[in-house]
Chains A and B, each alone.
Chain A
């Protein structure tokens, strides 16, 4: 079954405060060496999806820098590969709006691809859905569209804005809504046949709609047969500073770490050529995730260190997320903070946030 992929960032809000002032949520660094987009892209790569469109509208400079020609995901191909597509169009008669504008104005992408089914995903839900299995179930069920949900036992504030999925015993979806007490979270992932997808898009535009999932699937004016696919593996939704912080530190649980980084479905990212990390005399590092190129002489506990971070002698980093190339100088203490890239915390300075609401320091700050 031939698949084609869409990663649609159009409807995602940039709610990560300082981290998304200048970059799209999909470009936010995560887990020491990745960016959020890597997870959706790697799932597509692991399923062998040959053509992938990324629908971007705003703040995509750092995304473009990260993605390049798509080499790390094996998408720098002669035919197909990665297409980063803005909604640009100069036809004054164009009446499309919202993410339908993206789909409409990039119809050539759909027309040229040999894919028969469209796998449509966002970037905020981190998962390891096997798209081949999803596609097989979709075809076997005879449904028009299959949407993916995760049954979440413990609902957290980040789930508030997520859609919920009502599923019958036979797997058909009887309702999609936003009732906060419901536990089946829609993880922003569906699959449908390309021709039906395009037909629905045209229908929605003709009826003045603007948002494909809401207008074609949730409201379902055409009476599509919708099936649910229950996903049971690793899942995190990153749509706020709090959820970013919490889900980052949860990777210190070896079980979660092994789920997300299971070697059978590796996560690819842009390669940097850093040397391995150096732990110097007197270093005390416990319960942490550390990327390459770091130099640690101080104390690090319960934290995530991105590439090339320096922790000098006598400095302490506790329950914090320290992004690329930050320097924590001698004697400085940071606790419950998120430092964006290239932040320098000078000697003996103390910076303590609240574990429920970490301090966020913008890129290139000097403290």
Chain B
């Protein structure tokens, strides 16, 4: 294999338990977002736009949808002769087999894959976040700082901090502490789950970690590898990222990030010709808007037929909205068929759901801010 300066490993094995019914049969990175995308489109598109053409995608939980979605990677321009995208699920080895025990373990078990390219640096990504980022800038910074590890961070509020892995740094952004979900946060810099490591350094730490029993290590970057590197006084730096970044790991946060797109000029611009977000296109015909339809403040994908009213909502491909129906502040996933005179307010309706005529969803609820999830388990 030809040597590469940097390749990426994308952690895509998580269930995303807090997304409840949405991740019943697919992993979190495969969850739909923004009218046409899946979450994993963002890191994959960022890679291709940053000129990173070799990506290992580590899968574990319910991988079928992800595997068939990624395919040979042609949608992200990753069907390459030298490099490309590789799906890497846990596999049996001579010395036994087990599931990926943690994020670091997932990488450790694929050393052979990484070594083929003999990279100088390894980019470790998470398939859980929605953001646009030029990883070449991160790499430049990492090289400029001569860092062993650079962690991309984003400013959050002190109130939000307890739900993130927080990074505590000196003034020059040299990291002295990694604080996982702190009760009393000391900084406002949250880890984005985007790391660059010097590969020879990380390789050494991973080979030490893999042999530790589970009682000594959880084989996780945030809990084990990074703290050990800090204890050994390696050069770890924080890279301050500016821009839109969201962990869409809960029903309310997924809903809110979708609603963010409806602003006149959203922070996350999906129509930037210089930074396209690529996705597998279902190739549906143009959307049909009937003579009585009304659409305001919404995003609608191809393949939709709208006969009713849609306001402040996101419609994925192939959605039908029947006559007299009113959809507001909702996210309607692909191929949902909504009958006539239906009212849906503040809900996420999961893929393929059929909503019968005259159904009312989301009115008269106890908590007016609650976002309802309508899926196969719903009573109609």
Taking Cβ atoms with an 8 Å cutoff, the residues of A that contact B are 31-33, 71-72, 252, 254, 257, 260-261, 266-269, 271, 273-293, 295, 304-305, 308
Contacts and interface: CB of A to CB of B under 8 A. Distances in A.
A288 B299 contact: no
Interface stretch (B132-140, B284-292, B367-375): B284-292
B43 to A, nearest CB: 16
Given A275-B271, A292-B302, A286 B279 contact: no
A31 B297 contact: no
B289 A281 contact: no
B39 to A, nearest CB: 15
Interface in B268-300: 270-271, 276-279, 281, 283, 285-300
Nearest to A269: B283
Contact of A275 (B36, B264, B294, B315): B36
A71 B72 CA distance: 13
Contacts of B314: 276
Contacts of A271: 75, 281, 283
B68 to A, nearest CB: 16
Interface in B294-343: 294-302, 305, 310, 314-316
B277 A291 contact: no
B127 interface: no
Contacts of A308: 271
Interface string B18-44: 000000000000000011100000000
A32 B299 contact: no
Nearest to B294: A284
A289 B288 contact: yes
Contacts of B35: 275-276
30 contacts: A32-B285, A71-B74, A254-B288, A260-B285, A271-B283, A273-B281, A275-B35, A275-B36, A275-B277, A276-B35, A276-B36, A276-B301, A277-B300, A278-B298, A279-B296, A279-B299, A279-B300, A280-B296, A280-B297, A281-B264, A281-B297, A285-B293, A285-B295, A286-B290, A287-B289, A287-B291, A289-B286, A289-B287, A290-B286, A291-B302
A283 B300 CA distance: 13
B296 A31 contact: no
Contacts of B305: 254
Given A31-B285, A287-B291, A292-B301, A274 B277 contact: no
Query: When A and B form their complex, which 10 residue pairs have the shortest distance between CB atoms, in order from nearest?
Result: A32-B286, A276-B35, A275-B270, A276-B301, A279-B295, A287-B291, A261-B285, A289-B286, A271-B281, A291-B286
Contacts of B74: 71
A279 B314 CA distance: 10
Contacts of B277: 273, 275
A279 B298 contact: yes
Contacts of A291: 286-287, 302
Contacts of A289: 285-289
A286 B286 contact: no
- Number of chain B interface residues as a range: 35 or more
B286 A273 contact: no
B51 to A, nearest CB: 18
Contacts, number: 104
A267 B270 CA distance: 26
A169 B75 CA distance: 51
Nearest to A285: B289
A260 B286 CA distance: 12
A71 B379 CA distance: 43
Interface string B156-169: 00000000000000
Nearest to A305: B286
A144 B187 CA distance: 82
A127 B77 CA distance: 33
Nearest to B318: A263
Which of A257, A273, A284, A285: most chain B Cβ within 10 A? A273
A277 B285 contact: no
A290 B296 contact: no
Given A271-B281, A275-B35, A275-B270, A31 B299 contact: no
A282 B294 CA distance: 10
Contacts of A281: 264, 296-297
A361 B277 CA distance: 32
A64 B47 CA distance: 29
A276 B299 CA distance: 6
B296 A277 contact: no
Nearest to B298: A279
A340 B262 CA distance: 29
Contacts of A280: 264, 296-297
Contacts of B290: 254, 286-287
Which of A278, A281, A287, A290: most chain B Cβ within 10 A? A278
B357 to A, nearest CB: 18
Nearest to B272: A275
A129 B75 CA distance: 30
B281 A267 contact: no
Contact of B283 (A268, A274, A275, A276): A268
Given A254-B305, A279-B300, A291-B302, A273 B288 contact: no
B330 to A, nearest CB: 15
Given A273-B281, A276-B301, A282-B296, A290 B287 contact: yes
A8 B157 CA distance: 64
A251 to B, nearest CB: 8
A290 B279 contact: no
A33 B281 contact: no
A137 B278 CA distance: 43
A322 B35 CA distance: 23
Contacts of B300: 276-277, 279, 290
Given A273-B276, A273-B277, A275-B35, A257 B288 contact: yes
A269 B286 CA distance: 12
A293 B277 CA distance: 12
Contact of A286 (B75, B281, B292, B301): B292
Contact of B299 (A257, A260, A277, A284): A277
A289 B291 CA distance: 11
A278 B36 CA distance: 13
A239 to B, nearest CB: 23
A58 B290 CA distance: 39
B271 to A, nearest CB: 5
A252 to B, nearest CB: 8
